[in-house]
Structure 1
Amino acid sequence: MTATDSGVLSNIQAELSRIEREENVRILYACESGSRAWGFPSRDSDYDVRFLYVHEPDWYLSVFDRRDVIERPISDLLDVNGWDLRKALRLFRKSNPPLLEWLQSPIVYKDQPEATNQIRGLAGLSFSAKACTFHYLHMARGNYRDYLQGETVHSKKYFYVLRPLLACAWIERFESLPPMEFDTLKDTILEPGELRTAIDRLLERKKSGIEMKAEPRIGVINQYLETQISYYEQQAPRMPDSGQSVDDRLDPLFLSVLRAAWRET
């Protein structure tokens, strides 16, 4: 885990413990999922805490569907929500990128390796280059359309288009899940030159906490974004589809993790 203010860490740990008590669940894994995990938080960035949990075994013995997410009101400091493990494993079958990203976050607040190592062991098998590319392309296209098409733009939104497009390029090149850290993506995918220099300057401003208000668009970055969006709109349907089916492994994994989580109760 990277450095996190000790006071904030205590608040996060206290909130996770409170959720366990109030919801009668066991949290298996909790991590940072937003700009702090990506490596470019602003001075006022909140903490995007995401977690996986299990209810006690009898909770699952019902003919009715039950709520499978836990969400807490967003504050100035914390944005905390999580998924029930059964929901997470169902999404895992579809090579769900947010879940796969959580499992490789560089900032981990809580971890039960007995559970998470089993899940990570299946990640490479279920990874779908096509599904993940479509996910990142959709994210990039939406943010570009909403925030970066005018002559004046909100500069910090560049990162919310750059990161998913660099992720698409990583998937195309390596056929594996891209890392969360923006610097790793940038330095691996982009050659030194005008584009990378412009991105580095923007990144330095973002990390320094300088307020990034509306300002003139950055032509070299916009040109790259438009070109890459167009390219991956053509390329995404041609990407390799799902890897191996892991369906026969999910029930045993779920039961194993569920029993281990409540073994001492």
Structure 2
Amino acid sequence: MKETILNALKKIEEDYQVKILFACESGSRAWGFPSKDSDYDVRFIYVHKTEDYLTIDQIGIGNKRDVIELPINNLLDVSGWDLTKTLKLFRKSNPPLMEWLRSGIVYYQAFSTIDQMRDLSKTIFAPNSCLHHYLNMASNNFREFLQGEEVKIKKYFYVLRPVLASKWIEKYNEFPPLEFPILLNTLLPEGELKNEIQILLKRKMDGDELDLEPKIQVINDFLNEEITRLREYAKTLNLSNQDFTPELDKLFRDTLEEVWNK
């Protein structure tokens, strides 16, 4: 599969006249709970030629898109961000981007930009914005999928993971690991709740059809209580963040020099 992904990335470089800096897995495979039929969610960061940025119409405005997306099929979901879009989101400690940088499944990496971003990410990390992202995700999914007497059992993971990520931020004041098993084993004590989650995790990864089933009350109670509690905790966080624009401007210029002029 990696060869198929690399061929798709190479074709993107040729078709769009860009250089790809990085490509990784971002979905359930990176989160540590893939099903047997899970597709591949490939995300990448790319840079245009220098002259493409030196125009009066900036990339990302009008017809000059700052995203490249391939048609989604049953096996592959491939999309990427231009470096300017990437660095603007990085400046805000954007959680999906922070996850890309920490993905344990890297398909491709070239040049020094991504390593520099990883180093900077420890300083740029903003607990408040990341916490709000994960809590909003957890709240929306909890409200949409887990309210009836029968629920889509597999949707528990799309609430559990952001709740545990939020708990990690609260406990360690750092960006959480992507892998769900690490979050689960680090943050939850042995007991009924953890046992029920582990049973669900095994079923999902074994390929069981996890569709409508009676809700699991101990998990629902935990999620409801933690979302409420963590929202109160989020209100106590300092909302002011340092402006990293000068450092990111330099990284952008250095990348253009490294990619196209060396």
TM-score (norm 2): 0.95
CA distance in structure 2 between the partners assigned to 1:133 and 1:91 by the alignment = 16
Deviation at 1:113, TM superposition (A): 4.9
- Match of residue 217 from structure 1: 215
Q: Give the fraction of aligned pairs with identical amino acids, expressed as a percent.
A: 51
Alpha-carbon contact 1:125-1:246 (below 8 Å) kept: no
CA distance in structure 1 between the partners assigned to 2:125 and 2:234 by the alignment = 15
- Match of residue 101 from structure 1: 99
Alignment partner of 1:190 out of 175, 181, 188:
188
1:29 correspondence with 2:27: no
Alpha-carbon contact 2:111-2:259 (below 8 Å) kept: no
- Match of residue 5 from structure 1: none
Equivalent position SS for 2:46: strand
Q: Structure 2: which 5+ runs fail to align? A: none
Letter in 1 for 2:190: P
Q: Aligned-residue CA RMSD in angstroms?
A: 1.1
- 1:235-254 superposed matches below 5 A: 235-241=233-239, 243-254=241-252
Deviation at 1:171, TM superposition (A): 0.2
CA distance in structure 1 between the partners assigned to 2:212 and 2:226 by the alignment = 23
- Match of residue 55 from structure 1: 48
CA distance in structure 1 between the partners assigned to 2:127 and 2:238 by the alignment = 6
Alpha-carbon contact 1:143-1:160 (below 8 Å) kept: yes
CA distance in structure 2 between the partners assigned to 1:91 and 1:181 by the alignment = 22
Residue by residue over 1:194-243, the C-alpha shift from the partner in whole angstroms, topping out at 9 and shown as x without a partner, is 10000000000011011111110001000001001111221212124355
Residue by residue over 1:59-90, the C-alpha shift from the partner in whole angstroms, topping out at 9 and shown as x without a partner, is 11122232100011110000000000110100
Equivalent position SS for 2:112: helix
- Match of residue 122 from structure 2: 124
The count of residues paired between Structure 1 and Structure 2 equals 257
- Match of residue 10 from structure 2: 17
Alpha-carbon contact 1:165-1:229 (below 8 Å) kept: yes
- Match of residue 3 from structure 1: none
* Runs of 4 or more consecutive aligned structure 1 residues displaced over 2 Å after TM superposition: 239-245
CA distance in structure 1 between the partners assigned to 2:165 and 2:111 by the alignment = 27
1:181 correspondence with 2:179: yes
Alpha-carbon contact 1:122-1:246 (below 8 Å) kept: no
Alpha-carbon contact 1:129-1:176 (below 8 Å) kept: yes
Equivalent position SS for 2:130: helix
- Match of residue 203 from structure 1: 201
CA distance in structure 2 between the partners assigned to 1:49 and 1:112 by the alignment = 16
Q: Comparing 22-31 with 116-125, which one deviates more in the overlay? A: 116-125
Equivalent position SS for 1:231: helix
CA distance in structure 2 between the partners assigned to 1:224 and 1:263 by the alignment = 54
- 1:111-190 superposed matches below 5 A: 111-190=109-188
Letter in 1 for 2:51: D
Letter in 2 for 1:49: V
Alpha-carbon contact 1:39-1:182 (below 8 Å) kept: yes
Q: Structure 1: which 5+ runs fail to align? A: 1-7
CA distance in structure 2 between the partners assigned to 1:242 and 1:197 by the alignment = 39
Deviation at 1:263, TM superposition (A): 3.2
Alignment partner of 1:84 out of 77, 82, 85:
82
Deviation at 1:245, TM superposition (A): 2.9
- Match of residue 31 from structure 2: 38
Alpha-carbon contact 1:150-1:217 (below 8 Å) kept: yes
Deviation at 1:98, TM superposition (A): 0.5
Letter in 1 for 2:141: N
Q: Comparing 159-168 with 240-249, which one deviates more in the overlay? A: 240-249
Distance 1:121 1:168, change over 3 A: same
CA distance in structure 1 between the partners assigned to 2:191 and 2:240 by the alignment = 35
